[in-house]
Amino acid sequence: MRLILLLTFISFSFKVAFGQDTYKVVPAKSQMEIQVSGQIESGKQCSITSKTEGYFYPLVSVGDRVKIGQVIGSFKNEFLDANLQSTVKKIQITQSELENLTKKLENYEKLYSLGLASKNEILDLKNNISLKQSEIESLKAQLKTYNIQKNNFKLSSNCEGYIINMIPEGQYATIGTTVATVYNQNSNFLYLYVPVEFLNLIKSKKVLNAKLNDETISLKVKEIIPVSEGNLVKVKTFSEKALEFPLNFRQSITLYVDGLSGFKIPKKALVLEEKGFFVYKIYNGKKFKEKVNIIKDEGDFIIASGNLKDGDEVEIR
């Protein structure tokens, strides 16, 4: 009798476990492979501008790669050197004049106390001193500007990448002139053309894993852009790693969209109706029809999302 009961229990457990009548759904994650095309489009180009003025003499050429802080050339400006020396002399002369006026004012104040100088003479001297002080401040400000310009005679790059254009050797540049333009591969964006049916999957991801030329890379999703090209959406992505293929050239790319959560369900539990796929969930001896969305086909099973939870029993039909 005990043997019969044991065999009955094993048979019942086997039926439940393998879904002959019902199947207990379990959580599952899948990874989808999506074939898309992509192309590199240039990001920002970086400009190296002059912080001084003079004739430019480069140390690098168009096509050379430069790093941030690298000296790419220098300026020569004889007029600036002359202006520097002239301004220093003017400051010295004006300071000497100010000292003389200050001594003269001290003497006139003594004379005024004795009634030998007028108040107007005192006021005129004070005004002259004030003008000389302002003149000195103006000359010092000019000298500071000249020194800053002279200190920037060596032009350092504020960019990293390849020089794609540069002003000719010996050309005169003023402050703010673009001396060179640098192109940086790492500032480029990879635009993916993804079928619209995968839009919701892409939207849920901040980073995509992709395979490009037999190499796996990570792509940060920057923007999703509608396009008029068939049923595609344009996904702007960025890779920390330099992408080694030409600008505006279409390339086949495989996307791996992982971490899609759902439930593993036998195909025999699916019911196809006009509005899509459904399963019948068994709860407290009653059947409830639940809509499911198929995420991935895995042979005899599918991974699907829907109003289900771990351990729910679905009817096998």
Q: Are residues 169 and 66 in the same domain?
A: yes
Structure tokens at 237: 């992505």
Whole-number pLDDT of residue 6: 38
Q: Is residue 16 part of a domain?
A: no
Q: Are residues 215 and 226 in the same domain?
A: yes
Q: Is residue 169 part of a domain?
A: yes
The Cα 82–Cα 146 span in angstroms is 10
Q: What is the mean pLDDT of residues 196-211?
A: 81
Question: Poorest-confidence range of 42-51, 162-171, 212-221, 239-248?
Answer: 239-248
Q: What is the mean pLDDT of the chain?
A: 84
Q: What is the mean pLDDT of residues 193-206?
A: 80
Q: Are residues 87 and 159 in the same domain?
A: no
Q: Strand, coil or helix: what is 165?
A: strand
Q: Are residues 250 and 311 in the same domain?
A: yes
Q: Are residues 140 and 176 in the same domain?
A: no
Q: Are residues 308 and 236 in the same domain?
A: yes
Q: What is the mean pLDDT of residues 116-122?
A: 90
Q: Are residues 51 and 178 in the same domain?
A: yes
Whole-number pLDDT of residue 305: 86
Predicted confidence (pLDDT) per residue in 53-65, tens digit: 999 999 999 989 9
Q: Are residues 61 and 181 in the same domain?
A: yes
The Cα 237–Cα 205 span in angstroms is 11
Q: Is residue 7 part of a domain?
A: no
Could you tell me which residue, 158 or 45, shows the higher pLDDT? Answer: 158
The Cα 207–Cα 112 span in angstroms is 84
Predicted confidence (pLDDT) per residue in 74-89, tens digit: 999 988 889 999 999 9
Q: Is the pLDDT of residue 186 over 80?
A: no
Q: What is the mean pLDDT of residues 309-313?
A: 90
Handedness of CA 273, 275, 281, 283 (dihedral sign): negative
Q: Are residues 205 and 279 in the same domain?
A: yes
Q: Are residues 88 and 219 in the same domain?
A: no
Predicted confidence (pLDDT) per residue in 269-288, tens digit: 999 888 889 999 998 888 99
Return the axis-axis angle of helices 119-151 and 78-113, rounded to nearest 10°.
160
The Cα 80–Cα 149 span in angstroms is 8
CATH number for the domain that contains residue 275: 2.40.30.170
Q: Is residue 3 part of a domain?
A: no
Reported as half-sphere exposure (CB side, CA atoms, 13 A), residue 210 has a value of 29
Per the DSSP assignment, residues forming a β-bridge with 297 are 302
The Cα 279–Cα 290 span in angstroms is 5
Whole-number pLDDT of residue 232: 82
Whole-number pLDDT of residue 30: 74
User: Would you place residue 97 in the very low, low, confident or very high pLDDT band (cuts 50, 70, 90)?
Assistant: very high
Q: Is the pLDDT of residue 245 over 80?
A: no
Task: Please check whether residue 243 is in contact with residue 185, taking contact to mean a CB–CB distance below 8 angstroms.
Answer: yes
- Single-letter amino acid code for the residue at 90: K
Q: Is residue 127 part of a domain?
A: yes
Structure tokens at 32: 């989808």
Structure tokens at 84: 């520097």
Whole-number pLDDT of residue 66: 92
The Cα 279–Cα 109 span in angstroms is 108
Q: Is the pLDDT of residue 16 over 60?
A: no
Percent of the chain with pLDDT over 90: 36
Q: Are residues 51 and 162 in the same domain?
A: yes
Q: What is the mean pLDDT of residues 239-245?
A: 72
Pairing label, strands 276-283, 286-298: antiparallel
Task: Please check whether residue 47 is in contact with residue 33, taking contact to mean a CB–CB distance below 8 angstroms.
Answer: no
Q: Are residues 271 and 199 in the same domain?
A: yes
Rounded (5°) CA angle 270-295-273? 35
Q: Is residue 272 part of a domain?
A: yes
CATH number for the domain that contains residue 102: 1.10.287
Whole-number pLDDT of residue 188: 72
Q: Is the pLDDT of residue 19 over 80?
A: no
Q: Is residue 130 part of a domain?
A: yes
Q: Is the pLDDT of residue 237 over 80?
A: yes
Placement of tokens 């879904």 in the chain:
19
CATH number for the domain that contains residue 174: 2.40.50.100
> Averaging pLDDT over each range in 16-20, 127-131, 246-250, which range is the top one?
127-131
Q: Is residue 57 part of a domain?
A: yes
Owning domain of residue 95: 78-149
Whole-number pLDDT of residue 200: 75
Q: What is the mean pLDDT of residues 300-316?
A: 90
Whole-number pLDDT of residue 10: 35
Question: How large is the C-alpha radius of gyration of the chain?
Answer: 40
Reported as half-sphere exposure (CB side, CA atoms, 13 A), residue 286 has a value of 4
Q: Is the pLDDT of residue 247 over 80?
A: no
Whole-number pLDDT of residue 184: 76
Whole-number pLDDT of residue 214: 82
User: Would you place residue 204 in the very low, low, confident or very high pLDDT band (cuts 50, 70, 90)?
Assistant: confident
Q: How many domains does the chain have?
A: 3
